Structures are given as C-alpha cells and as structure tokens.
C-alpha cells in the first residue's frame, strides 16, 4: 500500500469524516474507494472506445449520401412493420 498526502478544504474533510463514520470506515478508505471507481470507470471507457473503433473500422459499405427519401422510409415502414389497431375498451 502506498501512502500519499492529500490536501483538502476543512469543510470537505469534516464532511468526509462524518461520511466515513456513518459507513464505519476511514477517510483514507473513502479516498481509496473513490480512486478505485475512477480507475474502473476509465478502464471501462477505454474498453468501450476501443470497441467503437473496432466496429467502425469494420464498416465498409456505408456512405453518408446513401439516404432514403421520406417516401422511401414510409414505404419500408408500411411494408415491414405490422399495423397496430387501437381498440376501444
């Protein structure tokens, strides 16, 4: 375990002591827990970012100009989505 010194405003430290007491732990343990969450969140973000890049690199057949007109979208929806009838209760 590595020891570090952290400076914080007095009011933040007072609140941290109260929270630590309520959770039956120490301010140091609260700081460790917070930093661990930051580390895991950063790893999760990097993992998702890598996945995004991999997926985007696999897209080879997309062109921004390949758009359907409003009427074409309507035709696709009308012919592929089952119609919904709203009944009265």
Model confidence pLDDT, tens digit, residues 7-36: 999 999 999 999 999 999 999 999 999 998
Tokens of residue 86, six digits: 């709203």
Q: Does residue 5 register a pLDDT over 80?
A: yes
Q: What angle is formed at CA 12 by the lines to CA 8 and CA 17, rounded to 5 degrees?
A: 105
Please state the rounded mean pLDDT for residues 39-48: 84
The parent domain of residue 71 ranges over 10-80
At residue 34, the pLDDT reads 92
At residue 86, the pLDDT reads 61
Does residue 51 lie within any of the structural domains? yes
C-beta of residue 47 within 8 angstroms of C-beta of residue 53:
no
Query: Structural domain tally of the chain?
Result: 1
Please state the rounded mean pLDDT for residues 51-57: 91
At residue 85, the pLDDT reads 62
SS3 of residue 43 by DSSP: helix
At residue 67, the pLDDT reads 83
Does residue 89 lie within any of the structural domains? no
Q: What's the CA gap between 26 and 57, in Å, rounded? A: 47
- If we measure between CA atoms, which residue out of 38, 41, 39 comes closest to residue 49? 41
Does residue 2 lie within any of the structural domains? no
């Amino acid at each position: 375990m590595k020891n570090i010194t952290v400076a914080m405003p007095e009011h933040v430290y007072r609140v941290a002591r109260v929270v630590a007491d309520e959770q039956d732990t120490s301010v140091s343990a609260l700081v460790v827990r917070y930093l661990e969450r930051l580390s895991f969140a950063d790893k999760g973000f990097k993992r998702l970012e890598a996945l995004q890049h991999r997926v985007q690199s696999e897209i080879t057949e997309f062109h921004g100009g390949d758009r359907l007109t409003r009427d074409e979208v309507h035709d696709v929806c009308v012919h592929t989505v089952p119609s919904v009838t709203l009944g009265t209760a």
